[in-house]
Amino acid sequence: MNSSYPLIFLILAAVVVVFGFGVVLQSRRKKPTPVIKAAPKKVVAPEPVVEAAPVVEVVVEKKRSFKNVLAGAVSSVLGRGEINDTSWDDLEEALLRADVGVKVAQALLEPLRARVKAKEISTPAELITALQNDMASRLVGTNRELNFDTSIDGPNIWLMVGVNGAGKTTSLGKISAQQVALGRKVLMAAGDTFRAAAGEQLQTWAERSGAEIIRGAEGSDPSSVIFDAVQAANARKFDLVLADTAGRLQNNTNLMEELRKVRRVAEKGAGTVTETLLVIDATTGQNGLSQARLFADATQVTGVVLTKLDGSSKGGIVFAIETELGIPVKLVGLGETMEDLVAFNPTEFVEALCSTT
Amino acid sequence: MFDNLSDRLGGVFKRIRGKGRLTEADVNEMLAEIRTALLEADVNIGVVRDVVERIRVQAVGSKVSEALDPGQQIIKIVNAELVAMLGGETLKISYASQPPTVVLMAGLQGSGKTTSAAKLASWFKAQGRNPLLVGADLQRPAAVEQLKVLGAQLNVPVFSAPGDPVQTAAAGLAEAKRLGRDVLIVDTAGRLAIDTEMMQQVSDISAAVKPDYTFLVVDAMTGQDAVNVAKAFDETLAISGVILSKLDGDARGGAALSVKEVIGKPIAFAATGEKLDAFEQFHPDRMASRILGMGDMLTLIEQAEKVYEKDEAEKAAAKLMEGEFTLDDFLDQLQQLKKMGNLSSMMGMLPGMPKEMKNAQISDDMVKSTEAIIRSMTPEERRKPEIINGSRRQRIATGSGTQIADVNKLVKQFSEMQKMMKRMGGGGKKGGKGGLNPFGGGGMDLAAALGSRPPSR
């Protein structure tokens, strides 16, 4: 970012507040659009999070709610016998209700309108299939495995980031249980030193999941807690450090700076950050995009964990996050038990979205 | 970031300006923009449909005034509509004739119940009450510990007992009576609205403590599902009001509008920061402009009023208008601003800011180095920065631990700002004596003057 802006602003802010009204300052200089770098794909030994078979069932069952909301709209489209204005309204509403956002919904429907006009698509059933295929094609082909690099010296570090209440600590606990089950030695770093009793909460998860934990004093520097954990993990030959961080709102500059530092300092020692997971609550609306953008900018996010998808919300914002920002959804949280964190299955996600039952 | 409504409508109105009356096609185009703006703010689609219809009724046939920007006219209609929807009856807390007054907190996981419970306790304390917090979230690990730590920070006692949440809550009520506490706040576990078992549990807790107020905690970032959640909780618990959490984020917070509209219960409080006193009663007018992306001027002004002396502000404003604002004054103002909080977040509250500027990051380091540069200048240099030559520049840079380029940049930008302000000052006088009034005509002229003549950067 060009550093002259903030300075102008510093000055302007001083001025503007004195006056107490807004100042429109046109600017010709364009801010470079943030480029989200794809995660370095240096997976040596790809590790599935859980075995495939049970996952499918769970996802199908839990996604029923997702299905239900869209089912109404989709079957009314199908029931109509022809494609008319109401069909489009129904489809758009279904997508909007799932929180995919206006822009994405339009981007999905516009090409279909053209194809209907060109008589490529003529029946409602074809329309639904085409929408389903389009959506699926935007999601497939992404590597969704958690990146565990066996070729590096020292421990792998997986960092959990996200806004307050997204479910970072709980997701970390569940990931820990799964990694321990894979035979890995896991050390948790209680990097949330801000929220009262966050360390205790993580401690409980460490005990439940069979991992060890390094904690710092409440209010201490999260970077140093995580750094210490990495050093300890290296000395004691742990495979994986799971680092929790305090929830923060992405527009809080100082806290985002702190997080940037956490990411930087985590690699100062013996370990390497091989995964930075942004935890997003499925109830999140359009703000999810802002979260993804700013957290990715601060910490090179490599994947999204979509939590609380067992509720009535649809989590459609991750479709926008993945297709617009290229950050893959890796895990989905479907409940409160340790087994309820599963690999994201894009085909099912889309099928559920466009299914009629 | 999303465009605010005024940017959106700007394009539409450029085309229809000069027409005497809005045609139906114009109105439709405009309503489509309003619809998108509301949807991007996460207002529920069903609610959006109703709002848009109501605005249509008001807008069709309304005259396009030549004097007023038609965009502003429509925004006024939309804004008024949203304020009406968000506002209405406000929740007035009255205390039970037989204490304690019981408050029950409920909501989804991670919506902010525990923190809001503590903030609410702090609010009651400020009202001169003696609250007792009860930790009935026995589900989430360490939730009770969290409440205890927060209670200790506030000097508010916290009661909890392991086992059954319903019994814990009931025991909490007995404890409040025993201790003579006059407000009881019961924190409960987060639960999904579709989890019948857990909804039954919270309903049992409610039956056990018979709350005077049941607050649903709703995350300001919630999307379309907010209405379903609110409906389900309201059906189970008869919600008395909503606490909107995490409003210090950059979410537009359309969920507030959806929830208010669907369950018809007032939004009682809003949580606006990490600190325990960052909790205030809800202001519908501010929320409306926020949903529309029009900034949150009122909050900004209120914050400013807290730290600024009126005379002082007027003096500084006058200096600015006359172009007599020196680097010394700037340094003073910067100190005042710092008291108001994070500069970047203040920036976000200013309406009409281009997006790239709203997102401008002003770190503490940047502020510090700016201060260091000014403090390394002599009084004369601060009054007349144009005398700063090569050797002075070198001295200032060395003195402040910065680069010569940084000094140059600051001086250059300061002089640009001065020019700009002088220009604004000229425009403002035309607007009459309202120059210092934030909403006076003067303000509009100034903004227009700036908008039409962008600085040559």
Q: Write down how long chain A is.
A: 357
Q: Cβ contact (<8 Å) for A97 and B45? A: yes
Mean pLDDT for A20-42 is 34
Q: Please indicate whether residue B106 or residue A32 has the higher confidence score (pLDDT).
A: B106
Select the residue of B45, B333, B457 nearest A96 (Cβ to Cβ): B45
Above 60 in pLDDT, residue A50? no
Q: Cβ contact (<8 Å) for A163 and B221? A: yes
Q: Cβ contact (<8 Å) for A17 and B345? A: no
Above 80 in pLDDT, residue A267? yes
Above 80 in pLDDT, residue B216? yes
Q: Is A337 on the interface with B (CB under 8 A)?
A: no
Residue B425: per-residue pLDDT: 60
Amino acid at B91: L
Mean pLDDT for A178-203 is 95
Count Cα neighbours of B238 within 13 Å in the Cβ-side half-sphere. Answer: 7
Q: Cβ contact (<8 Å) for A23 and B351? A: no
Other C-beta atoms closer than 10 Å to the C-beta of A237 total 9
Name the least confident of B121-135, B162-176, B322-336: B322-336
Q: Cβ contact (<8 Å) for B350 and A22? A: yes
Q: Pairing relation of β-strands A272-281 and B131-136?
A: unpaired
Mean pLDDT for B35-43 is 92
Mean pLDDT of chain B: 81
Q: Closest Cα of chain A to B45: distance in Å?
A: 7
Select the residue of B193, B301, B337 nearest A13 (Cβ to Cβ): B337
Alpha helices in A212-316 (DSSP H): 222-235, 253-266, 287-299
Paired with A241 in beta bridges are A157, A187
Above 70 in pLDDT, residue A232? yes
Token couple for A174: 């569940």
Residue A53: per-residue pLDDT: 35
Residues near A140 by Cβ (< 8 Å), separated by ≥ 6? A346, A347
Report residue B284's pLDDT band, with 50, 70 and 90 as the boundaries.
confident
Q: Cβ contact (<8 Å) for A253 and B417? A: no
Q: Cβ contact (<8 Å) for A285 and B221? A: yes
Q: Is A201 on the interface with B (CB under 8 A)?
A: yes
CB < 8 Å to A195, chain B: 146
Residue of A nearest to B141 (CA): A201
Report residue B221's pLDDT band, with 50, 70 and 90 as the boundaries.
very high
Mean pLDDT for A296-320 is 92
Residue of A nearest to B252 (CA): A287
pLDDT in tens, A137-181: 999 778 899 999 999 999 999 999 999 999 999 999 999 999 999
Residue B79: per-residue pLDDT: 83
Above 80 in pLDDT, residue B438? no
| Largest distance between two CA atoms of chain B | 78
Name the least confident of A343-357, B157-171, B343-357, B399-413: B343-357
CB < 8 Å to A11, chain B: 330, 413-414, 417
pTM equals: 0.77
pLDDT in tens, B319-351: 777 778 888 888 888 887 777 766 666 666 665
Residue B15: per-residue pLDDT: 65
pLDDT in tens, A104-130: 999 999 999 999 999 999 999 899 889
Residues near B273 by Cβ (< 8 Å), separated by ≥ 6? B248
Residue of A nearest to B442 (CA): A21
Residues near B293 by Cβ (< 8 Å), separated by ≥ 6? B2, B3, B4, B5, B6, B37, B41, B252
- What distance in Å separates the CA atoms of residue B230 and residue B270, rounded to the nearest whole number? 16
Residue B335: per-residue pLDDT: 80
Q: Closest Cα of chain A to B330: distance in Å?
A: 7
Name the least confident of A81-90, A327-336, B220-229, B320-329: B320-329
Q: Write down how long chain B is.
A: 457
Of chain A residues 288-307, which have a CB less than 8 A from chain B? 288, 290-291, 307
Crossing angle of the two packed helices A64-78 and A85-97, in degrees rounded to 10: 170
Report residue A76's pLDDT band, with 50, 70 and 90 as the boundaries.
confident
Above 50 in pLDDT, residue A262? yes
Q: Cβ contact (<8 Å) for A98 and B224? A: yes
Q: Cβ contact (<8 Å) for B354 and A218? A: no
Q: Cβ contact (<8 Å) for B142 and A284? A: no
| Interior angle at CA A253, CA A249 and CA A255, nearest 5 | 65
Above 80 in pLDDT, residue B149? yes
CB < 8 Å to B454, chain A: 25-28
Q: Please indicate whether residue A65 or residue B160 has the higher confidence score (pLDDT).
A: B160
Q: Cβ contact (<8 Å) for A205 and B226? A: no
Name the least confident of A125-134, A304-313, A344-353: A344-353
CB < 8 Å to B336, chain A: 17
Of chain A residues 130-159, which have a CB less than 8 A from chain B? none
Residue of A nearest to B424 (CA): A23
Residue A185: per-residue pLDDT: 97
Q: Closest Cα of chain A to B97: distance in Å?
A: 34
Above 80 in pLDDT, residue B449? no
- What distance in Å separates the CA atoms of residue B221 and residue B219, rounded to the nearest whole number? 5
Report residue A305's pLDDT band, with 50, 70 and 90 as the boundaries.
very high
Of chain A residues 60-119, which have a CB less than 8 A from chain B? 65, 93, 96-99, 101-102
Return contacts of A110-119, CB within 8 angstroms, 24+ apart. A113/A88, A116/A83
Mean pLDDT for B364-379 is 86
Mean pLDDT for A293-316 is 92
Q: What percent of chain A has pLDDT over 70?
A: 78
